[in-house]
Structure 1
Amino acid sequence: MNTQTTTAAAARSHSALLRVAHDPAWRKLSTKIVGSLLGFLIMALSVIGATLYLSWQLEGSSAAINVAGSLRMTSFRLSLAIAGMAEPARRDVAAADARRQLGVLDDTLAQLRHGDPQRPLFLPPSPPIRQAFERVTEHWATRLRPEALALLARPAIDRERAWAFQRDAEVFVTDVARLVQQIEEDSETRTFWLRGSQLLLLAFATAGTVSIIYLLFNLIIAPVTSLQGGMARMRERDFEVRLPSDRSDEFGELAQGFNQMADRLQGVYANLEQLVESKTAALAAQNRELALLYDSAAFLQRPQPAEEMCQGFLRRLSDYFGADGGSVRILDPERGNLHMLVHHGLSPQLVEAEHCMKVGDCLCGESVQKKITIVHDLRQMPRGAELECRREGYETVSMFHIYAHQQHLGMFNLHFRKARTFTAQEQALLETLGQLLGTAIENLRLGAREREMAISEERNLVAQGLHDSIAQGLNFLNLQVQMLEQSVRANKLDEVADIVPALRAGVQESYEDVRELLLNFRTRLVEDSLVHSLQTTIDKFERQAGISVELKADLDGAPFPREQQLQLLFIVQEALSNVRKHAGARSVQVTLRDAQDFTLSIEDDGHGFDVAGLAQRGEHHVGIHIMRERAQRISATLEVQSAPGAGTTVLVQLPRELRRAA
Structure 2
Amino acid sequence: MPLSSSPLPTPRHSVVFNTLLAFVVIISFTLLSMLISLYTADALQGDAEAINHAGSLRMQAYRLAITAQQDNPALLQQHIEGLDRTLQSQSLRSALTRHGGPTLSERYNVVRQHWQQHMRPLLNNPAPTILRYHEELPHFVEELNHFVLTLQQASEQKLEIIRGLQIATLFISVIIAFVLIYGLHNNLASPLSRLTELTRQVSRGDFSGQVHIAGETELSQLGETFNHMSRELGELYGEMERKVDAKTAELQQSNASLQLLLNCARMLYSQPSDPSRLMGQLLGKVQQVLGSGQVSLCLNQPTEQTSHTALNSHQGQPDYCRLPHCDECPIKQGEPLPSGLPLASFDLRASGAALGVLHVELPDGQPLQDWQSQLLVTLADLFAASLSLAQLGQHEARLALMEERAVIARELHDSLAQSLSAQKLQLARLKRQASRSGVPEELSETLAQIEQGLNAAYRKLRELLTTFRIRVDAPGLKPAVEATCKEFMENSGLRIQLDYQLEHCPLTPNEEIHCLQIVREALSNVLKHAQAAHCWLVLHQAEDGNIEVLIDDDGIGIRHSESPSGHYGLSILKERASSLGGQLEIVPRTAGGTRVQLHFTPSFRKIPLHQETA
In the other structure, the counterpart of 1:308 is 277
* 1:520 and 2:467 correspond: yes
Secondary structure in 2 matching 1:435:
helix
* 1:24 and 2:9 correspond: yes
The more displaced of 342-351 and 433-442 is: 342-351
Q: Choose the corresponding residue for 1:438, options 384, 388, 399.
A: 384
Summarize the Cα distance change of 1:513–1:538 in structure 2 as closer, same or farther, 3 Å threshold: farther
In the other structure, the counterpart of 2:297 is 327
* 1:508 and 2:455 correspond: yes
Q: Deviations along 1:474-521, whole A, 9 cap, x unmatched?
A: 798899999999999999999998777556545533432232122221
* 1:548 and 2:474 correspond: no
Summarize the Cα distance change of 1:223–1:539 in structure 2 as closer, same or farther, 3 Å threshold: closer
Secondary structure in 2 matching 1:252:
helix
Summarize the Cα distance change of 1:556–1:607 in structure 2 as closer, same or farther, 3 Å threshold: closer
Is the Cα contact below 8 Å between 1:547 and 1:588 reproduced in 2? Answer: no
Structure 2 Cα separation of the partners of residues 570 and 648 of structure 1? 18
The CA deviation at 1:398 is 1.4
Q: Choose the corresponding residue for 1:178, options 93, 99, 106.
A: 93
The aligned amino acid for 1:648 is R
Structure 2 Cα separation of the partners of residues 311 and 557 of structure 1? 47
* 1:203 and 2:153 correspond: no
In the other structure, the counterpart of 1:605 is 554
Superposed counterparts of 1:79-98, under 5 Å = none
The CA deviation at 1:399 is 0.7
Superposed counterparts of 1:101-120, under 5 Å = none
In the other structure, the counterpart of 1:340 is 307
Structure 1 Cα separation of the partners of residues 386 and 171 of structure 2? 94
* 1:421 and 2:366 correspond: yes
The CA deviation at 1:453 is 6.5
Structure 1 Cα separation of the partners of residues 358 and 189 of structure 2? 71
Structure 1 Cα separation of the partners of residues 600 and 34 of structure 2? 105
Structure 1 Cα separation of the partners of residues 196 and 548 of structure 2? 83
In the other structure, the counterpart of 1:575 is 519
Is the Cα contact below 8 Å between 1:402 and 1:412 reproduced in 2? Answer: yes
Structure 2 Cα separation of the partners of residues 350 and 417 of structure 1? 23
> Structure 2-normalised TM-score?
0.54
Q: Deviations along 1:2-47, whole A, 9 cap, x unmatched?
A: xxxxxxxx9xxx9xx859x5213547xxx94443443344344444
Summarize the Cα distance change of 1:224–1:318 in structure 2 as closer, same or farther, 3 Å threshold: closer
Summarize the Cα distance change of 1:430–1:348 in structure 2 as closer, same or farther, 3 Å threshold: closer
Summarize the Cα distance change of 1:457–1:65 in structure 2 as closer, same or farther, 3 Å threshold: farther
Q: Deviations along 1:73-114, whole A, 9 cap, x unmatched?
A: xxxxxxxxxxxxxxxxxxxxxxxxxxxxxxxxxxxxxxxxxx
* 1:647 and 2:562 correspond: no
Structure 1 Cα separation of the partners of residues 559 and 159 of structure 2? 136
The CA deviation at 1:441 is 2.4
Structure 2 Cα separation of the partners of residues 476 and 517 of structure 1? 18
Summarize the Cα distance change of 1:318–1:213 in structure 2 as closer, same or farther, 3 Å threshold: closer
Q: Choose the corresponding residue for 1:626, options 560, 576, 582.
A: 576
Is the Cα contact below 8 Å between 2:341 and 2:363 reproduced in 1? Answer: yes
Summarize the Cα distance change of 1:302–1:177 in structure 2 as closer, same or farther, 3 Å threshold: same
Structure 2 Cα separation of the partners of residues 198 and 467 of structure 1? 139
The CA deviation at 1:400 is 1.6
Is the Cα contact below 8 Å between 2:341 and 2:364 reproduced in 1? Answer: yes
Is the Cα contact below 8 Å between 1:591 and 1:602 reproduced in 2? Answer: yes
The aligned amino acid for 1:342 is T
Structure 1 Cα separation of the partners of residues 559 and 269 of structure 2? 54
Summarize the Cα distance change of 1:451–1:50 in structure 2 as closer, same or farther, 3 Å threshold: farther
Summarize the Cα distance change of 1:515–1:579 in structure 2 as closer, same or farther, 3 Å threshold: same
Structure 2 Cα separation of the partners of residues 558 and 301 of structure 1? 30
The aligned amino acid for 2:336 is R
In the other structure, the counterpart of 2:21 is 39
Structure 2 Cα separation of the partners of residues 299 and 251 of structure 1? 63
Is the Cα contact below 8 Å between 2:551 and 2:596 reproduced in 1? Answer: yes
Structure 2 Cα separation of the partners of residues 557 and 432 of structure 1? 43
In the other structure, the counterpart of 2:346 is 400
Is the Cα contact below 8 Å between 2:293 and 2:363 reproduced in 1? Answer: no
Structure 2 Cα separation of the partners of residues 249 and 22 of structure 1? 11
Superposed counterparts of 1:103-502, under 5 Å = 174=89, 177-179=92-94, 182=97, 192=161, 196=165, 199-200=168-169, 203-221=172-190, 224=193, 244=212, 248-257=220-229, 296-303=264-271, 304-314=273-283, 317=286, 323=293, 326-329=296-299, 332=302, 340-343=307-310, 344-345=317-318, 349=322, 352-354=325-327, 387-390=333-336, 395-402=341-348, 410-414=355-359, 416=361, 420-424=365-369, 425-448=371-394, 451=397, 455=401, 469-470=415-416
Is the Cα contact below 8 Å between 1:600 and 1:653 reproduced in 2? Answer: no
Structure 1 Cα separation of the partners of residues 599 and 275 of structure 2? 41
Q: Deviations along 1:600-626, whole A, 9 cap, x unmatched?
A: 975533455699999xxxxx9543563
Matched positions, count: 487
The CA deviation at 1:455 is 5.0
Secondary structure in 1 matching 2:335:
helix
Is the Cα contact below 8 Å between 1:609 and 1:643 reproduced in 2? Answer: yes
The CA deviation at 1:589 is 4.7
The aligned amino acid for 2:274 is P
Is the Cα contact below 8 Å between 1:325 and 1:346 reproduced in 2? Answer: no
Structure 2 Cα separation of the partners of residues 48 and 557 of structure 1? 104
Summarize the Cα distance change of 1:625–1:181 in structure 2 as closer, same or farther, 3 Å threshold: farther
Secondary structure in 2 matching 1:399:
strand
Structure 1 Cα separation of the partners of residues 46 and 27 of structure 2? 30
The aligned amino acid for 1:250 is L
Secondary structure in 2 matching 1:398:
strand
The aligned amino acid for 1:23 is L
Q: Deviations along 1:570-608, whole A, 9 cap, x unmatched?
A: 6444322233247524345577999xxx99975533455
Secondary structure in 1 matching 2:458:
helix
Q: Deviations along 1:112-158, whole A, 9 cap, x unmatched?
A: xxxxxxxxxxxxxxxxxxxxxxxxxxxxxxxxxxxxxxxxxxxxxxx
The CA deviation at 1:355 is 9.3
The more displaced of 497-506 and 525-534 is: 525-534
Structure 1 Cα separation of the partners of residues 17 and 578 of structure 2? 98
Q: Deviations along 1:228-284, whole A, 9 cap, x unmatched?
A: 69999xx9x998x8654877422223344556788999x99xxx9xx99x9999999
Q: Deviations along 1:603-658, whole A, 9 cap, x unmatched?
A: 533455699999xxxxx95435636867x9xxxx9997953444336689999x99
Secondary structure in 1 matching 2:366:
coil
Summarize the Cα distance change of 1:458–1:510 in structure 2 as closer, same or farther, 3 Å threshold: same
Secondary structure in 1 matching 2:359:
strand
Structure 1 Cα separation of the partners of residues 170 and 600 of structure 2? 105
Task: Name structure 1 gaps, 5 residues minimum.
Answer: 1-9, 73-158, 357-361, 365-386, 615-619
Structure 1 Cα separation of the partners of residues 28 and 409 of structure 2? 119
The aligned amino acid for 1:340 is S
Is the Cα contact below 8 Å between 2:342 and 2:362 reproduced in 1? Answer: yes
Summarize the Cα distance change of 1:229–1:451 in structure 2 as closer, same or farther, 3 Å threshold: same
Structure 2 Cα separation of the partners of residues 576 and 446 of structure 1? 34
> Structure 1-normalised TM-score?
0.51
Greater C-alpha radius of gyration: 2
Is the Cα contact below 8 Å between 1:306 and 1:444 reproduced in 2? Answer: yes
Secondary structure in 2 matching 1:326:
strand
Secondary structure in 2 matching 1:400:
strand
Summarize the Cα distance change of 1:502–1:254 in structure 2 as closer, same or farther, 3 Å threshold: same
Is the Cα contact below 8 Å between 1:227 and 1:243 reproduced in 2? Answer: no
